[in-house]
Every structure is written in C-alpha cells, then in structure tokens.
Amino acid sequence: MEDAEGADAPKKKNPMVGTIIAAVVVTILGGGGGWFVGGLLAPSSASHDAPAAAAAAPAAPAKAEEHGGGGHGEKKPEGLPHAFTEAGGVLQLDPMTVNLAYPSENWIRLELALVFKEHPDVAVAKSIQDDLTAYLRTVSLQQIQGPRGFQYLKDDIQERVDLRSEGRVSDVIFRTFVVQ
C-alpha cells in the first residue's frame, strides 16, 4: 500500500505555480492593453509638437501687430470685457473677492465667465457682476459648505444671472471658487 501512495505523490502539482503563472500572464496582458490604449488616447508629443509650433510661430507676430506693435512696455487693457472669443459670445467677468456675511473674517473669491446667446453685452455683464458681488456679501459659510452647498450657490447665481440678463446669457462658467 505504501508503494501506491508513494507513486501518486510525485504526480501532484503545486497549486501556487499555476497561480503565479496566471498572475504573470494577466499582468502582461493588462500592461500591454494599457500601453495600447494610452498610445491611442495620448499620442507621442514629439510627433505632434512640431506642426503645432510651426503653426503658432506665424500667428504670434500677427497678434502683436493687431495690438499696435509688440512693445514690452505696453499695458494690456484691464477690466471688462475679457473676451475668450467674441464669436463664441463668452465674456469673462473680473474676479470678485468679498467677505462672507458670517463668519465675517472668511472671504470668497469667485471668477466667472458668461456665455451670451448672441453678442456679448458689456453693460449687462457689469450689472450682473455688481449684483453678484452684492449677493455674495449676504452668503454665510454654512450655506456654501460641501457639494450640496456649492450646487445651491451655483443655482442661485444662475438664477440671478437669468433675471438680470433677461435671458441673454445662456450659461455661467465657474473659473475659480475659493473660500478662505
């Protein structure tokens, strides 16, 4: 009987070897698949940077000439409007920094951009900014805490913009939102 049991013992395989081989195969397949998908989503930068740099180089002098030369001492115009694209109807508002209603030592900084349905209207944008600045002074820290509070703030701002613009602004883009 002992001889029969002794003959079966060498035929048993270690289950750990199969597990290790399976893990190595899955790791190689996962790494190869990730490399392939990464190559599709983000092609190598060396092959695409040269045409982009060549196309951007002629545009730089033209832009400098548009603004009356490329002198380094010239100042950029400040204040409204900060237009991303006039054709797109997006107008960036000046940053708003105000103290909160409670606690008054905390402040909020908000940068917004307005998407107009037609052409941007600077007068409407200025009245919207004044209204939003006054509104932000009435907000307390408890009202804007957490994701739900931020969503309520966004909804309130969108509603105020809709009322003030009489439907001429289609969307409000939050560029920065800082509470300190």
Domain C-terminal end among 31, 48, 76: 76
Shared domain for 68 and 109, answered yes or no, is no
Shared domain for 6 and 48, answered yes or no, is yes
Q: How much is the average pLDDT of 82-107?
A: 81
pLDDT in tens, 125-142: 999 999 999 999 999 999
Shared domain for 113 and 147, answered yes or no, is yes
- Name the token pair of 75: 């100042």
Domain C-terminal end among 76, 107, 138: 76
Shared domain for 100 and 132, answered yes or no, is yes
Supply the pLDDT for residue 60.
41
Supply the pLDDT for residue 105.
93
Supply the pLDDT for residue 6.
53
CB burial readout 129-150, b (16+ within 10 A) else e: beebeeebeebebeebeeeeee
Domain C-terminal end among 57, 76, 95: 76
- Residues with Cβ within 8 Å of residue 172, at least 6 apart in sequence: 112, 113, 114, 115, 154, 157, 158, 161
Shared domain for 36 and 101, answered yes or no, is no
Decide: 113 and 91 in contact? Cβ < 8 Å: yes
Q: Kindly report the average pLDDT of the chain as a whole number.
A: 77
Shared domain for 8 and 52, answered yes or no, is yes
Shared domain for 11 and 69, answered yes or no, is yes
User: What is the separation of C-alpha 171 from the centre of its chain, rounded to a whole number of angstroms?
Assistant: 16
At residue 92, does pLDDT exceed 50? yes
Percent of the chain with pLDDT over 70: 68
Q: Which residues partner with 90 through β-bridges?
A: 85, 115
Domain of 50 in residue numbering reads as: 1-76
Decide: 179 and 97 in contact? Cβ < 8 Å: no
User: Residue 132 phi/psi, 5° resolution?
Assistant: -65, -35
What is the sign, positive or negative, of the torsion defined by CA atoms of 137, 150, 161, 78?
positive
At residue 169, does pLDDT exceed 50? yes
Confidence band (pLDDT; 50, 70, 90) for 1?
low
Shared domain for 63 and 120, answered yes or no, is no
Shared domain for 140 and 166, answered yes or no, is yes
User: Which H or E run includes 176?
Assistant: strand 169-179
Shared domain for 66 and 130, answered yes or no, is no
What is the crossing angle of helices 122-136 and 146-165, to 10°?
140
Counted domains in the chain = 2
Check which CATH number belongs to the domain holding 146 and give it: 3.30.479.30
pLDDT in tens, 23-82: 999 999 988 888 888 877 776 554 444 444 444 444 444 444 444 444 444 444 454 454
Shared domain for 69 and 99, answered yes or no, is no
